[in-house]
Amino acid sequence: MRRLVLVLASAGFSACAALPPGQPASLEHGLLIARVEVSGAVFSRFFKFADAGSIVGLDAKGVPLPGQRGLSGPSFNGYVVFYNVPPGRYTLRSASFKARGARYQVQPPPADEAKRSVVLKPGAAAYLGSYRFDSRWPEFWSGTGRAARIVAHWLTPFLRRPLIPRDTGQAAYETEPAHEARALFAVREGLAGTQWSEVAAARLRELGAAEPAKRAGVVRSRPLPLREEPFVSWRDTLKWGEPRRVASGMAWRRPGGEAQIAIFHTTATAPGFAGWEAAVSELRAEAATSVEDRGGVYEVVVGTRTGLAARTTKYVYPQGTLVGSETKVVVTETTIVPDGYGIFTSRLRAPRAEFPRVLAAYREFLLQLSLGPPAPKAPPRQEAVLPFSGGGP
C-alpha cells in the first residue's frame, strides 16, 4: 500500500511539473528553469539545446526524496522549463533534445547533485543552472546499435522517437546571476500573457536585473546608447528630442503634442526634505483628491527598482473664462523611488485624450533607466610586456 501511495505521489508531481503554461495550480507552486547545450561529436562548434528534462527533489542532506520527480513542460528560447513545482530543493537529473529521428539524453554526474541543487521558494522562480556538454564519439558496436534504432524509427515514424544516451565528457556548469537573468528574460518573453510571466518578472526584480537595452535598426540592429547624467542614465526610447534641464533633473515634451515627462532627484540634504514616509503620505494625499482615479497607489518598475505611483485628474479652467464654459482635463502620473541619498521622482503629465497614447512609451522609458551615478569607468587594460633581455652585439 505504501508503495502505491509513493507511485501516485510521483505521478502527481510529474504531472504538475509538466503542465502546459497557464494559470498556476497553487499559489505555492513555482517555476524551475535550466539551460542545457550539447556540442556535436564531429563538429564541436555546433550545438543542440535541450527542450525537455527531468528534476528530482532532495532533502536537507542532498538525498533524493521518494516520489519527488518531475518532467518539464513546453520549452522557450532554448530553456527547459518546469511548471507548477511545489516549494523545496531540486536538481536537474537529465535533459534531452531531438536530432536525426531520435531523442538524445544527457545526464549530469549524480555524485554532485547536492552541490547543483537550488531552493525553490513558494510561488517563485529559480534557476537550475547552465550546462554545457561536450559530445564524444561512441564505441563502434554501441554506435552501430544506436544507428540501427534510428533507421528503424525512420521506417516507423508513427512510433515514439527512441531515447538514446549521449556520450559526453565532463559537463561545464554555471549559475552566475547574469546567466539567471538571461534565462528569466527569455522565459518571461515566451510566457507573456500568463501568470508565469509575472513570476519570472518578480525574480528579475529580486535580482535587480536591468532590462535588456532596446535596439534600433532593422538589418543591423544595435542597442541604444546609455546616456549618462550625474544622477541617472537613460536611453532615448522616446525620440522626443533633447531634454531641457530643470532643477535637479530633466524634462521632455512630445513633439506635436502637449505630453511632458520629467525625472529628477531630491537629495536628503535638500531644504524641506522630510524622508520617504512623508513622500509616500503626500503621494497618497494627492491621489485621494482625484475621485476619477480612485485615489489608489500602485507599484511601477523603474530601471531595476520598484517605485510607488499614483494618478490624478485635474480640471483646468483657463484664466479669464467662466467656470464650466471651457475645460481642460489633465492627467498626471507621479512615481517615487527610494534611494540611499534621497528620492527619485518621475512624472508624466498630458491632456486626458493624449495620456493613453503616451503611457506605454513612458513605461518603456522608465524600464530603460539606470538610477544613480554612472558606473565608474574600468581602468585601461595593461598589457604584460616582457623585458628585453637578449644579448647585445
**What are the extents of the domains in the chain?**
7-142+152-207, 222-371
Phi (first) and psi of residue 262, to 5 degrees: -135, 145
Q: What is the pLDDT of residues 186-239, one digit of tens each?
A: 999 888 888 899 899 889 888 888 888 888 877 777 888 889 888 899 999 999
Residue 97: name the closest of 149, 40, 56 by CA: 40
Supply the pLDDT for residue 152: 59
Q: What is the pLDDT of residues 14-46, one digit of tens each?
A: 556 665 566 777 889 999 999 999 876 655 566
User: Residue 359, SS3?
Assistant: helix
Instruction: State the angle between helix axes of 195-207 and 177-190 in degrees (0 to 180), rounded to the nearest 10.
Output: 160
Give me the sign of the Cα torsion angle 76, 82, 88, 92.
negative
Supply the pLDDT for residue 390: 46
Supply the pLDDT for residue 325: 56
Supply the pLDDT for residue 94: 92
Contacts of 285 (CB under 8 A, 6+ apart): none
Let me know if 33 is exposed, middle or buried by CB neighbors in 10 A (0-12, 13-18, 19+): buried
**Can you identify the CATH homologous superfamily of domain 222-371?**
Mog1/PsbP, alpha/beta/alpha sandwich (3.40.1000.10)
Residue 81: name the closest of 231, 183, 210 by CA: 183
Q: Which of 46-55, 140-149, 377-386 has the lowest mean pLDDT?
A: 377-386
Supply the pLDDT for residue 5: 36
Cβ atoms < 10 Å from Cβ of 293:
16
Average pLDDT in the 305-315 region?
A: 89
In whole angstroms, give the CA distance from residue 45 to residue 67: 38
Quote the percentage of the chain above a pLDDT of 70: 75
In whole angstroms, give the CA distance from residue 25 to residue 225: 42
Residue 137 has pLDDT above 90, yes or no: no
Contact in structure between 169 and 136 (CB atoms under 8 Å): yes
Cβ atoms < 10 Å from Cβ of 313:
15
Joined together, the cell numbers standing for residue 355 give 495620456
Supply the pLDDT for residue 367: 92
For residues 110, 112, 116 and 118, what is the CA-based torsion angle, rounded to 10 degrees?
80
Whole-Å CA distances, 278 to 81, 168, 267, 268 = 43, 60, 14, 12
Q: Which of 13-22, 70-79, 268-277, 313-322 has the lowest mean pLDDT?
A: 13-22
* Angle subtended at Cα 318 by Cα 317 and Cα 320, rounded to the nearest 5 degrees: 110
User: Residue 287, SS3?
Assistant: helix
Supply the pLDDT for residue 379: 62
In whole angstroms, give the CA distance from residue 257 to residue 127: 45
First to last CA, the chain: 93
Average pLDDT in the 45-59 region?
A: 87
Supply the pLDDT for residue 389: 41
Average pLDDT in the 252-264 region?
A: 94
Residue 293 has pLDDT above 80, yes or no: no
